[in-house]
Structures are given as C-alpha cells and as structure tokens.
Amino acid sequence: MSPFCHRCCIASTIRTIDLAFSKQDSLSPLAMTASNPYALETLSNLLKGKVIIVTGGNSGIGKSIVETVARLGARVVIDYRSHPEATEALEQEIGELGGTCFGVQADVGKLEDLQRLVQEAVNRYGRLDVMVNNAGIETRTSILDTTPDDYDKVLNVNLRGVFFATQYAAKQMIAQGGGGRIINISSVHEDWPMPNNTPYCCAKGGVRMLTRTAALELAPHGITLVNVGPGAVATPINDSTMNNPELLAKLNAAIPLGRMAQPEEIASVVGFLASDAAGYITATTIFADGGIMQSSPGL
C-alpha cells in the first residue's frame, strides 16, 4: 500500500478533527467562536453547498481533487474525456461516502463541450461556484522535434481550453451574481524551464499570465483566479519517469524534500483555495513542489 493512501489520510484527518473537538478546552478562543466561519468544527463542511467543476476529474490529480472537495461538502461535476468506467467508479465511491457528484463527458479541447459542461453543472445544481481547470497533457518534445500537431494538441488542451473554460465559467458567475473562483492546475513549469517539454512550458507560461491578467479583469465581479503549481506528482502523466529507476532517483535527488508528491498533497491545496478562507488570494500561483524550484547545488 502506498505510504499516502488517500483513505487513510482522510480517515486520519477526520480523526484529528474529532480529537480537536474532544479537546475543545485547549483550543484558542478564536477557533471556538461559534460565529467564526473557519472554526475547527466547520472544517468538514468547508465547501458545503459549493458547486465545483473539475476538468480531467477521473484520474491523477483531478481524481484526488474530486475526492477531496466532495469530502469537504461540495457538489462536484466530474469532467472527463475518456474512461467512463473510471468516472462511474468514482461516482459510486463518492456516493457511498455520502457525497454529491455526477460525471459529464466533455473534451476541454472542444469549445462546444466546455460550454455544455458549464451548462450541465448549472442545469443539475443551479449554479457554479468554482471552476477547477485541471485537465492537461504533455508530449515531452523539444523545440527541434515538436510537430505542428504536437504543438496544437498541447496548446489546445492546456491553454486554449483553460482560457475558454475561464471565460464560460466567469460569464455564468457574473450572471448568477455573488462572485466565484477559478483555480488552474498549472505547473512549476509555468515559470521554470523543462527542456524537452517545450510546448507544455509554453502553455503553462500562458496560463500564468492568463491568471494574472484575467484576475484583474474579473476582480470587480468578485471572481478570483489562482494557479496551483505542482512539481513532480505520482500520477499517470509521470509514468515514464516512475517506471525508470535511474530517472526516478535523479528526480528525487533534485527535489529538496527528496520525493515526488502524492496527488492528495495537491488536492488539499485546492480544497483550501476553493473555500471562503482563501477569498483574498487572487492573480497569483501557489506552488506545491517540495522546494524543487529553489533547489541549488550550493555552489
């Protein structure tokens, strides 16, 4: 079993919350104030009532985000492109936990699909509070090898899809009123070069500026935008590295924390960012990278 089994992590989080409950005397007066919306006892309902779309939600980081926000009380729309059976299994898992979700097959590379995705969320749950643009692909090709087709595929999903998902979500949020939040799962490579992954870096660099610029335009509507910048995460996108012991050892050695992240370690950041507790964060990126962007040979 993985040392970061999701179920165990959540179970231990819930146990921690229970423990905090039973030790209320030792909590600070602030945490115990009934009117404090961030008091410990409200944590398990952090996202209660919020409607959240997660693109690419049936695998990798996206799946973990779906599980986390559902457990925090959100009603979740699981966007996916392929593997309906994985979505069905996830719907069932969340249903058994008492959560609320449903899957929508929609390709973020197709604008009509993106529009339908937002519409289906609204048809089912009446509104949209948080759009998590998570779906992403990479070709791991250099500037010399990238074909026009590689380039189009990566930029289409990772930048054009995020751009228009942001536009459609923001229009819905403005129409319904009350603000909203867009969370883009970017990468350390929005700012940090990754040789031999040039189209991906171009797309993520674009998402960096999309978030900063659109956040300024949408601030008057109460809509905040924030990127989450993961480093190397143990998900299928990194299978080629994880299946190559030499490469994996090299990667781990480059990460100050000495290991890749588990998807839950990115999902927990998204859970916080989707909540009202993060209402003052906009136009920026939160990196969760084990320190890799700051690593130095110490010369």
- Residues in contact with ligand BGC by CB under 6 A are 138, 187-189, 194, 231-232, 237-238
Residue with smaller CB distance to ligand BGC, 68 or 241: 241
- Alpha-carbon distances of 177 from 118, 180, 237, rounded to whole Å: 15, 8, 37
Rg over CA atoms, the chain: 19
- In the complex, what is the shortest distance from the CB of residue 204 to ligand BGC, in angstroms, rounded to a whole number? 7
Which residue of the chain is nearest ligand BGC when measured via CB? 187
Containing H/E element for 183? Answer: strand 180-185
- In the complex, what is the shortest distance from the CB of residue 230 to ligand BGC, in angstroms, rounded to a whole number? 6
Give Cα 112 distance to the centre of its chain.
22
- In the complex, what is the shortest distance from the CB of residue 207 to ligand BGC, in angstroms, rounded to a whole number? 11
- In the complex, what is the shortest distance from the CB of residue 201 to ligand BGC, in angstroms, rounded to a whole number? 9
Coil, strand or helix: which one is 104? strand
Judge residue 78's burial from the number of C-beta atoms within 10 Å of its C-beta, 0-12 exposed, 13-18 middle, 19 or more buried.
buried
Contacts 24+ apart (CB under 8 A), 242-249: none
Residue with smaller CB distance to ligand BGC, 91 or 190: 190
Asked if 55 contacts 116 with a C-beta cutoff of 8 angstroms, the reply is: no
Specify whether 151 is catalytic.
no
Residue with smaller CB distance to ligand BGC, 254 or 283: 254
Residue with smaller CB distance to ligand BGC, 57 or 60: 60
- In the complex, what is the shortest distance from the CB of residue 169 to ligand BGC, in angstroms, rounded to a whole number? 22
Residue with smaller CB distance to ligand BGC, 116 or 259: 259
Which residues have C-beta within 8 Å of that of residue 289, sequence separation ≥ 6? 188, 229, 230, 231, 232, 255, 261
- In the complex, what is the shortest distance from the CB of residue 264 to ligand BGC, in angstroms, rounded to a whole number? 17
Q: Among 80, 125, 168, 200, which one carries the catalytic annotation?
A: 200
Give Cα 201 distance to the centre of its chain.
18
Residue with smaller CB distance to ligand BGC, 71 or 81: 81
Which residues have C-beta within 8 Å of that of residue 32, sequence separation ≥ 6? 24, 39
Contacts 24+ apart (CB under 8 A), 112-118: 114/161, 114/164, 114/165, 114/168, 115/168, 117/53, 117/55, 117/77, 117/79, 117/165, 118/53, 118/165, 118/168, 118/169, 118/172
The tokens describing 183, both together, are: 């969370």
Q: Where are the alpha helices (DSSP H) in 222-291?
A: 239-242, 245-254, 263-273
Q: State the catalytic residues.
A: 200
